[in-house]
Amino acid sequence: MMRQLTFIKPGAFEWHNVPFPVLQAPTDAIVRPLAVARCDLDLYIATGFVPFPGPFAFGHEMVGEVVDAGDKAGVMPGQHVIVPFQISCGQCASCRRGFTASCEAVPPYSAFGLGGGRVEYGGALSDAVRVPYADFMLVRLPEGVDPVAAASAADNIPDGWRAVAPQLREYPGAPVLVIGGLAQSVGLYAAGAAVALGAGRVLYLDDNSGNRDRARAMGAEAAPLTGREPVEQFEIVVEAAGLADALGLAIRSCRPNGVVTSVAMHLGATTPVPLTQAYYKGLTFHTSRASARNWLPDVIHCMACGGLHPEHVTHRILPFADAADAMTDSGPKLVFTPE
Whether 125 contacts 36, CB under 8 Å: yes
Give mean pLDDT, residues 94-99: 98
Give the CATH number of the domain where residue 192 resides: 3.40.50.720
- DSSP states of 155-171 as a string? THHHHHHTTTHHHHHHS
Residues 283 and 227 in one domain: yes
pTM: 0.96
Q: Which H or E run contains 69?
A: strand 61-69
Whether 4 contacts 57, CB under 8 Å: yes
Give mean pLDDT, residues 235-264: 97
Residues 85 and 47 in one domain: yes
Residues 136 and 181 in one domain: no
Instruction: State pLDDT tens for residues 179-220.
Output: 999 999 999 999 999 999 999 999 999 999 999 999 999 999
Distance CA 39, CA 332 (A): 9
| Residue 89 pLDDT | 98
In this structure, what are the phi and psi dihedrals at residue 29, rounded to the nearest 5 degrees? -140, 150
Better pLDDT: 231 or 119: 231
Residues 200 and 189 in one domain: yes
Residues 150 and 251 in one domain: no
| Residue 236 pLDDT | 98
Whether 313 contacts 163, CB under 8 Å: no
Distance CA 24, CA 18 (A): 17
Half-sphere exposure of 53 (CA within 13 A, CB side): 5
Residues 219 and 256 in one domain: yes
Nearest to 63 by CA among 290, 303, 291, 240: 303
Q: How far is CA 119 from CA 1, 27, 58, 179, in A?
A: 21, 19, 13, 34
> Of 245, 270, 287, which residue is a domain's last?
287
Residues 75 and 181 in one domain: no
Residues 245 and 280 in one domain: yes
Residue 112 domain boundaries: 2-155+290-337
Residues 98 and 167 in one domain: no
| Residue 226 pLDDT | 94
Residues 259 and 271 in one domain: yes
| Residue 118 pLDDT | 65
Distance CA 237, CA 215 (A): 15
| Residue 116 pLDDT | 55
Q: How far is CA 143 from CA 54, 79, 140, 189, 300, in A?
A: 38, 11, 9, 22, 11
Percent of the chain with pLDDT over 90: 95
Residues 78 and 108 in one domain: yes
